[in-house]
Structure 1
Amino acid sequence: MKFRNFQFLSIIILSLLVPQLLSAQKMPGVKIGISETNIPLSFPLVEQDKAATIYIDAKDAEVVAIAAEAFKNDIHLLTNLTPSVKKGNENLSAYPVIIGTLGQSKVIDHLAKTRKINPLSLQGKWETFSISVIENPTKGVKRALVIAGSDRRGTAFGVFELSRMLGVSPLNWWADVKPALKKALYIKAGESVVGPPSVKYRGIFINDEDWGIQPWAAKNMDTDVKDIGPKTYTKIFELLLRLKANYIWPGMHPSTKAFYFYADNPKIADQYAIVLGSSHCEPMLRNNVFEWAENFEHEYGKKPGEWRYDLNKPEIAKYWTDRVQQAKNYESVYTVGMRGIHDGSMPGPKDKNEKVKLLGQVITDQREILNKYSTKPVNSIPQIFCPYKEVLSLYQAGLKLPDDVTIVWADDNHGYVRQLSNPEEQKRSGGSGVYYHISYWGAPHDYLWLSSISPSLISYELTKAYQYKADRLWVINVGDIKPAEMETQFAMDLAWDIHRWEPQKAYLYAESWAAEIFGAAFAKPIADIKAVYYRLGHEAKPEHIGSVNITDAQADERLMAYEKIYNQAKKLADQMPERLKDAYFELIFYPVQGAYLMNQKILYAKKSLLLAAKGDQIALSYSKKAKDAFEQIKLITKKYNEEIAGGKWNGIMDYRPRKLPVFDMPKVAESIAAQPTAQTKENKPVLISAAKFKDKFAAKGTVLQSINGLGIGGSGMSVYPFTTKSISENALNTAPFLTYQVDFETAGEHQVEVKCLPTQGVNNGIKVRYAIAVNGDQAQVVNVAPASENNTWKQNVLQGYASGITKHQVAKAGKSVIKIYLLDPGVVINQLEIK
């Protein structure tokens, strides 16, 4: 009898609780989803030719209204229906979309107070948002779709995240990704809470813009000022919000006037809630190239003195102070320190110690300016110090940085981070971050034309940085944005959630990304094309193919691989729906075809000369192929600029940025030698992929990980976690190792070249070492990290690998065992080449 009473009581309690659970949508694990059919308890966003009305609070941040308008336009893109956007919390419809920020929106605060949304999931959190479907949230409302943010950017990110879920790509404007039309849209019942991000400040650097985004913006966007101005930045800032990014280093080359020169630029940045910064060589938000070297007289009525702080402190300090006063009401991150007017070393004393002392004084004085003229205490104002190029040596020489300044470690300009925080630096309150290139102008060779740094490499280096506590700020040098759209999106997705695309999973990104943009049917074929494209680009970027030494056989293999993915890409182009043809050309076909043609041009020209010297008549046909490839590059670039998207991108693509020799037509055979030369036979070495090991060992707490898409050959082996301690040369018995079996045709001396990813030591004093033994002989220890920016480093970054060569005595022909020990964190073994 008691049991029956308990059952009855339980039913009554459940009947009271279930409606409450449904109304707040707090069922564990139930996240919102998207459907084109009506499912019980789903929210009708678009139904029966009617779109739900969007409501925001008039007193909420400007970016919330901007996001709401963009969402309205996204619904129109998806359905040809345009919802209304209303500023106010009164007279809500029966099925409203409610968008607002906790503490800034009356209706959101009411929903939090009544526990219709959980305030604890948002309160005090950085850029966090919830998207939920709520039953009977307020009087007169049957069901609401609620997007609530912990702060102004959190709200905007929530709006754009829902757009992305509905089928609007973040690249919808920047790469003409048109979504498929839908007759109805429903949001499945549930609640999704997203955030905070893994990296606090995440953004891009518009750089080397002279041949792409600047001439394009002048011709098509900011036609009044003929520059990158407010109209262009409006589109850039929207892209950042759609990528859940929050930070920018604006364009700053001599072709571009300073960001602050156009008064609307910082205002629009604030409206879009984008945090303003300035590059490694632009202290205190000042663009020296324009504001000191060119426009100083216009601003101050006199010519500037020397750009030397030890000789001209008062004038330079005023110059910085004026910008701080101008920027004090905007959200900014200040770069502290000093370099040359542009990208050069700081003028000053010749003695290195004196220069370190002067740089320390510069930073002290800059912080005094911030403390005096900003609205917050100096230790609460975000500041970064970027030890880029020669500045790293000054830092290593003993520069003392204030504890709250964020150290932004730089890569070597080619995707390999030079140094990360050691255990003591990791304790600093300012933390650290990374400045990382996927586009570059400089030695040993630019790569400004095409984007070819793979998600696997980006993830490997930036995940390594994250494990060394570089989580405060990431800024990615993206050049002109185009054609680095996918790589930029990947970097921002990784910065938002570091665990989503860890190195061992990063090769899967291309398929996920392609499915989102082009649909599931095209995803795997596009991913297969991109995998080969990235592998070939790692082994020699299209811009670098003229600077590496490859054999005739390697050239043939390379061209065959390019031909295969080109044919695959062309076949997909023919199958692509009309709405996606422009996007496909921009994102996939142009980079693949351009890289293929560049390789044809260079390698066929080289082949024509070799064959002509041998007296082979076929040489002239290769000359023609090289010339044809050169002309085709011009034609496809003309198509990009003048035909794609109706000429929208006219000026964005230059097939020869800086007019470097690699972009010219190389010398080809015009005649055949009278006497053929003797044929020489290439002795092909034995190549073993590092992933094709026979056995492996890793100590407890570590993993020997195979990483697809990383390095030459398309894969690499590395030790996780990145924070694994280095192993002494005297303790090889504790080191992780890989073994490989090889058949030697002869006894005697043999050479083993171990090709590794050209990474740098994780911090000062740590090397990139492996040890190798053959058939149990004395292990030889090799460090593959060269001195910074010497000739070995230059060759390494161009060819995509660093290597060690060891010689071994093999007693007899037949099966032998090669054992390779991985001694330092960050070492990646890609390939063994055996002679």
Structure 2
Amino acid sequence: MMAMLAAASPAAAAAATPDCAGLVTACMRAAPGAVALLAPGRPTLIAVDAGEDAGVRRAADDLVGDLVAVGGGTVRLVGKADAGTTVIAGTLGSPLVGALIRAGKIDVRGLDGQWEGYVEQVVERPLPGVDRALVIVGADRRGTIFGLYDISAKAGVSPWTWWADVPAQRHPTLYLTAGRVADHPVVKYRGIFINDEEPAFGGWARARFGGVNHLAYEKLFTLLLRTKANFLWPAMWGKSLWQDDPASAPLAREMGVILGTSHHEPMERANIEWQRQGGGPWDYTRNGERLRAFWRAGIARRGVSEDPVTIGMRGDGDEPMTQGTAIGLLQRIIADQRRTIAEVTGKPAAATPQVWALYKEVQDYYDQGMRVPDDVTLLFADDNWGNIRRLPVPGEQRAGGAGVYYHFDYVGGPRNYKWLDTNAVPRVWQQMAMAHQFGADRLWIVNVGDLKPMEYATSFFLAMAWDPNRMTEAAMQAYPARWAAQQFGAAQGPAIGALIVEYGRLASRRKPELIDADTYAGTAGGWARVLGEWTGLAARAGRLAAAIPTERRDAYDELVLHRIDAMTNLHRLYAAVAANRRAAQTGDAAATARWATAARGYFAEDAALRRRYEGLAGGKWPEMMAQTHVGYTGWQQPDVDVMPALATVAAPLPVPAMATPPLRSIAADAGRAIDGAGVRWQRVAGFTAAGAAMIATPATAPAIERPGGAGPQLAYAIDLPAGARRFDVVAAPGLDVRGTGRHRVALSLDGGAPVIVDLLAGETEARWGKAVADNRRVAGATLPVTRAGRHVLHVWLVDPQVVIEGIEVAG
């Protein structure tokens, strides 16, 4: 049969397409050349060599269970292919697929040596007695594993089947269409970091499995592989995957999951291990000999492994190593670490993959000129709030490449955020697309906190990491409905996807830990506007819940409803507190008491929503919603949720004065986009709670130091009275990834000379804190308006990394 080529469908695609379009696509009816994956009354046989890698056999066992869940019939794993075989799977070099390759039955061109690549092909008469079968061939063991799990997803089993209680989509009859698909990842290492895991993830694992042990990690490893991820930084606060349960690391190796250690845990040693052994001061200048011995043991324990080794050194407890930037000391530490790696492995240091994490103050070393050997991966980081701080020079060629450490969860200033998923996917897409354009494609890892309820954002991040080129803006916009269809079926996908989009849009306004009674008191529309949006969304989600089949209600609550209800209730709580305080100021005792009662009710409802969540799936998730989130007074969380202070008429609390709203707010996409200088504008819908944003692409384009003329711009026609007017650009709180310390646009009115505006001018810790708390930066200029009437405001691009979210015109 002539092989046909196609890009493999994204993992978020719905299980079975009604029109059976595409190659090797799941379909519920027969089509020319299709293989019957499931057929009533006929067993499905999956052939995998008995001598195949253990991880491959585990994935094949999972595929057996998945197909049983989908079809309800007989599915068996067999050690050799013969009559009746439906699926044949193996890694290049295995006898089973080797015979098919030699016979010319399967096309594996380009597969040899391709990291984690795989081919799926429907083959006619692969063996005597077999009319047609699906053949999966992996370039390496993970390639085969990913191919097997890809069939599970196509058949109707979500990667979140265990972690979000998503039942398989039932199809007693299921076909895979004819053809061939081949796929492989673009980002080499793709993974997550379980972090800030107390009390939620840690408490849950202890209640469910007796600890953060290999039983808990087995579930996590399987999730990673089902989502085509391969890398994990394990939970680290007071924990060591290696010491707490000696079965965990060998299990990861068996299953095919690559382990690393976080940005401040060098040489494959967990932070707590140093404290447990009483190693003395974590200070290389005073205790270098014991530190070197400690690290040597980590490399020895790593053994023959794929695990990239984190190198460098930060202070104990996720703090800076020293005051100031001690480049000479850090260079000596890294040289000694690499010498240790070479001595323990018996190979040149460059033969062991290594990562230097440029997190927080460590980036200062890089910015001041420190460099590491070419084979080391440079892991750049965001500012902990989703804004990448630095990226490599476009086109820079390094053997070790570069990557990004990103955050969906954080403990630190200006405020912790770890309760709910509040990560706007369009912003994640823009930042990671920029990272890819700059060449940071060796390692993508995201801090997901407790993992739940970060399922959707985590899915998106890992799907994009598989192939950033495939995740176009259109694919990103289509992703919510596709992902929802995978969890809830094609009929419910669009409606649930719309809820997910709206939740992300509203949640991007402000992290819940940063909200209090004063948050919206001084804004246009005040609490009424914001609460109205949340209340409307909750009503939609509630109505849709009634249409969700009973067997999917736990999944719907976990993935959709809980976060909407919890955020809506939190806004109701603070809006009631604000109303209570206003009533007290006016001396209205009845209203003061009424709103106080309402606020106490919403506070109690917050706890009730936690109990509801933790009781889902028969009580499967104890402690998983235990992160405190009400009553913050500083960056760190309170020990327990604290009811906000309420006022009485006798003792009112101060109420902030209403701020004067801007004279006019103009949507980012309300102007005319004019491309130029090799740059084009791209509208990204739903980027903020206010609407769309305008981004420039490619982000790697050089800065336009002399804006004007035929340069790229956004032109806004507006009516203005005469007189000087302040024009402010509202931008995403991005940072300068080139290291210049500037983040600029330019403004002009009509034919006036452009005035350059630097959004990072005068940057301080406080200004940065306000920018990330508000999720926007604002800067502008005062321009003369010589006459009343229609004018054109020009916003000129200077630095292509700036994201325009709107314009504000003040009097």
Q: Identify whether the pair has TM-score above 0.5, normalized to the shorter chain.
A: yes
Q: Does 1:278 align with 2:266?
A: no
Q: Does 1:492 align with 2:486?
A: no
Q: 1:559 aligns with which of 531, 536, 540?
A: 531
State which structure, 1 or 2, has the greater radius of gyration over its C-alpha atoms: 1
One-letter code of the match for 2:60? A
Cα offsets for 1:793-816 (capped at 9, x unmatched): 000001110010322232333322
**CA 571–375 in structure 1, closer or farther in 2 if over 3 Å, else same:** farther
CA distance in 1, matches of 2:762, 2:542: 43
Structure 2 equivalent of residue 591 of structure 1? 563
Q: Does 1:37 align with 2:29?
A: yes
Structure 2 equivalent of residue 660 of structure 1? 638
SS at match of 2:735: coil
Cα offsets for 1:383-409 (capped at 9, x unmatched): 110111111112222222111101000
CA positional deviation for 1:446? 1.0
CA distance in 2, matches of 1:802, 1:698: 24
Superposed counterparts of 1:12-161, under 5 Å? 20-21=1-2, 31-87=23-79, 89=80, 92-103=82-93, 105-161=94-150
Cα contact 1:756–1:828 (8 A) shared by 2: yes
Structure 1 equivalent of residue 760 of structure 2? 785
Structure 2 equivalent of residue 732 of structure 1? 708
Cα contact 2:520–2:527 (8 A) shared by 1: no
Q: 2:214 aligns with which of 216, 230, 254?
A: 230
Cα contact 1:250–1:259 (8 A) shared by 2: no
Q: Does 1:202 align with 2:190?
A: yes
**CA 640–764 in structure 1, closer or farther in 2 if over 3 Å, else same:** same
Greater helix share, structure number: 1
CA distance in 1, matches of 2:657, 2:340: 72
CA positional deviation for 1:669? 2.6
One-letter code of the match for 1:634? A
**CA 508–478 in structure 1, closer or farther in 2 if over 3 Å, else same:** same
Unpaired runs of at least 5, structure 1: 1-19, 297-302
CA distance in 2, matches of 1:732, 1:537: 37
SS at match of 1:691: helix
Alignment root-mean-square deviation, CA: 2.4
SS at match of 2:166: coil
**CA 326–391 in structure 1, closer or farther in 2 if over 3 Å, else same:** same
Superposed counterparts of 1:310-709, under 5 Å? 310-347=285-322, 352=325, 355-374=326-345, 376-423=347-394, 426-503=396-473, 505-546=475-516, 548=519, 551=522, 553-616=525-588, 617-641=590-614, 643-656=615-628, 659-660=637-638, 663-671=641-649, 685-693=663-671, 695-699=672-676, 701-709=678-686
Cα contact 1:411–1:418 (8 A) shared by 2: yes
**CA 304–655 in structure 1, closer or farther in 2 if over 3 Å, else same:** closer
One-letter code of the match for 2:704? I
CA distance in 1, matches of 2:656, 2:444: 55
CA positional deviation for 1:574? 1.3
SS at match of 1:248: strand
Structure 2 equivalent of residue 743 of structure 1? 719
SS at match of 1:448: coil
CA distance in 2, matches of 1:416, 1:27: 35
Q: 1:722 aligns with which of 699, 713, 716?
A: 699
**CA 335–675 in structure 1, closer or farther in 2 if over 3 Å, else same:** closer
One-letter code of the match for 1:127? E
**CA 675–40 in structure 1, closer or farther in 2 if over 3 Å, else same:** closer
Corresponding residue pairs, total: 788
Cα contact 2:33–2:177 (8 A) shared by 1: yes
Return the TM-score normalized by structure 2.
0.93
**CA 234–611 in structure 1, closer or farther in 2 if over 3 Å, else same:** same
**CA 677–387 in structure 1, closer or farther in 2 if over 3 Å, else same:** closer
One-letter code of the match for 2:481? E
**CA 131–683 in structure 1, closer or farther in 2 if over 3 Å, else same:** closer
SS at match of 1:605: helix
CA distance in 2, matches of 1:831, 1:109: 59
Cα contact 1:45–1:51 (8 A) shared by 2: no
Structure 1 equivalent of residue 746 of structure 2? 771
CA distance in 1, matches of 2:640, 2:711: 44
CA positional deviation for 1:780? 2.1
**CA 678–209 in structure 1, closer or farther in 2 if over 3 Å, else same:** closer
**CA 683–386 in structure 1, closer or farther in 2 if over 3 Å, else same:** closer
Structure 1 equivalent of residue 735 of structure 2? 760
Cα offsets for 1:679-729 (capped at 9, x unmatched): 979555311111111x2321153211111122351211111011111011x
Runs of 4+ in 1 over 6 A off after TM superposition: 25-30, 672-681
CA positional deviation for 1:375? 5.7
One-letter code of the match for 1:266? A
Cα contact 2:5–2:182 (8 A) shared by 1: no
CA positional deviation for 1:619? 4.0
Structure 2 equivalent of residue 176 of structure 1? 165
* Percent of pairs with identical residues: 32
Q: 2:250 aligns with which of 267, 285, 294?
A: 267
Unpaired runs of at least 5, structure 2: 8-20, 630-635
**CA 661–830 in structure 1, closer or farther in 2 if over 3 Å, else same:** farther
Cα contact 2:22–2:177 (8 A) shared by 1: no
